[in-house]
Amino acid sequence: MTEPTRTYANSLIAIEWRPELCTHCQACITDLPQVFNLASKPWVNINNAHPQVIFEQVQHCPDGALSVSTYRSKQ
């Protein structure tokens, strides 16, 4: 059975995580541990970094398990 997509969002950014695609390469955890932390619940805390930084990190997800569904920069 496929795990459901999980969404982590605030007013500026929404990150989607698709567990079935995740190969656990840990790039997100290594490069941005203040946001992606397996010891925390939930493991994604989008309030711990600027949305642009998170957006850029998600773009480096090699397996497509993480994606940005919305992103609005502050004007």
Q: According to the model, what pLDDT value does residue 75 have?
A: 55
Decide if 1 is inside a domain: no
pLDDT over 90 (residue 69): no
Count of domains observed in the chain:
1
Residue 64 belongs to some domain of the structure: yes
- pLDDT tens for 1-44 read 678 999 999 999 999 999 999 999 999 999 999 999 999 999 99
Domain of 21, CATH number, reads 3.30.70.20
Question: Three-class SS of residue 19?
Answer: helix
Kindly state whether residue 40 falls inside one of the protein's structural domains: yes
Q: What pTM does this model have?
A: 0.87
Cis peptide before 51 (omega within 30 of 0): no
Give CA torsion, residues 9, 11, 13, 16, to 10 deg.
20
The amino acid at residue 39 is A
- Identify the bridge partners of residue 66 per DSSP, sorted by sequence position: 17
Query: Quick check: 73 pLDDT over 80?
Result: no
d(CA 49, CA 40): 15
Q: Would you mind telling me the total number of residues written for the chain in this entry? A: 75
* Structural domain range at position 33: 6-71
